[in-house]
Amino acid sequence: MGGMGKTTLARLVYEDKRMIDGFHYRAWACISKEFDLVHATKAILKVLDCSIELEKSDDLDPHQRKLQEMLKDKKFFVVLDDVWNKNHAIWEAFRTPFNYGAPGSKFLITAREQGVAKVMRCTDIHFLEPLQNEYPWKLFAKHASSDQYVDPGLESIGRRIINKRGGSPLAIKTLGSLLGTKLAPQYWDAILKSDIWSLSEDESNIIPSLRLSYHYLPSNLKRCFAFCSLFPKDHLIEKDVLIQLWMAEGLLHSPHTSKSFEEVGNEIFNDLESRLSKKNGNCFVMHDLLNDLAKSVMGKFSVQLEIDRAQEISTEARYFSCIGKANENFEKVFKCHQLRSFILLHENSISKYDIIYRLSHLKYIRELSLEGCQTFKKLGDDLAI
């Protein structure tokens, strides 16, 4: 089940001093549903040596040879987070360079399906159980109140609410943050009796409590949260960059005219912080289920063009991001003449001429990021938007 704390537990192991001291190399790679061999290998190489110059080609062999040389006779510990692949051939191809590591090297894998563990021939499988006894309430109270005290008049309602979630830490944490902002019995009772609970996770692919957390957000926070649908799963989001994007989109309005846009953005970010997992200082990553929620909210208006994934793109799309190399669907993007956001993430092979020519036909762009376009050095005068 999503939100049970698999990644949190893996992170605790990864950062334990015994793991830091006991291995020559440690690396963490987020895999998700698309197990792209080249992308995953590159990601691990970059973690092992951030100064390494990677091949620009998508050929797997040179990257694997470089990884093999680096790991030869070295003891490594690699975490593969959120693995879905159950194709044994892909796993065997991926692990080839790791076969040259020293004895005692380890993989730690998080997955939702036991079939993944079988394909990867895991020697030990640990099943995370739902929180039980008083732990759900303690976690809820921690996020609902700074001093972990909840008024007895609210506690009985709160306990009934968290019982609906079956011990999911993410859901309990999210509900605690939501209800901690409105300490009124009628508000908590409305959450308890909401029709959203009757919508099963199988029908919506989103845990009902997470849908509730969005449904009861103030309108300005709803739009800022939904905007995060542009970022792929496991992507490190820089706080300052996100606030600038919100600003460009016109989402940071405040009745208090004395406050700057940056101040309003920081306040909104702090309000949404409970829906993000803090990582590496000012960088944050959304939990997969919250990422799914943001994409569900935006629907056809937001497009993530993922690596080699065929998908229909609505001409009504307003927000676009491209993750990795462009595929055949990239042509469809430029038929979306009302695009406001055009963001290239990670390495991208799109030509400079192609970008300049096509962007000149998009007249409503508010946010433009060509971070992932390796051919760009500067924007010339010929890009007339």
Check whether residue 150 and residue 243 sit in a common domain.
no
Residue 146 has pLDDT above 80, yes or no: no
Boundaries of domain holding 276: 219-295
Residue range 90-103: average pLDDT?
91
Structure tokens that stand for 204 in this block:
């919506």
Q: Residue 151 domain-assigned?
A: yes
In a domain, 149, yes or no: yes
Q: Is residue 59 part of a domain?
A: yes
Give residue-wise pLDDT tens across range 276-311.
666 667 788 888 888 888 888 888 888 877 643 445
- Higher-confidence residue of 364 and 350: namely 364
- Residue of higher predicted confidence among 163 and 57: 163
The reported pLDDT for the residue numbered 310 is 45
Q: Specify the pLDDT at position 312.
A: 66
**What's the pLDDT at 385?**
40
pLDDT(329) > 90: no
Write the pLDDT tens digit of every residue in 204-255. 456 777 777 788 788 888 889 989 888 887 788 888 989 999 999 888 876 6
Given 67, 85, 119, the domain boundary residue is: 119
Q: pLDDT over 70 for what percent of the chain?
A: 81
What pLDDT shows up at residue 353? 60
Number of domains in the chain: 4
Domain check: are 101 and 21 in the same one? yes
Q: Are residues 278 and 326 in the same domain?
A: no
Same domain? 185 vs 233: no
192 and 104 housed in the same domain: no
Q: In this structure, are 357 and 332 located in the same domain? A: yes
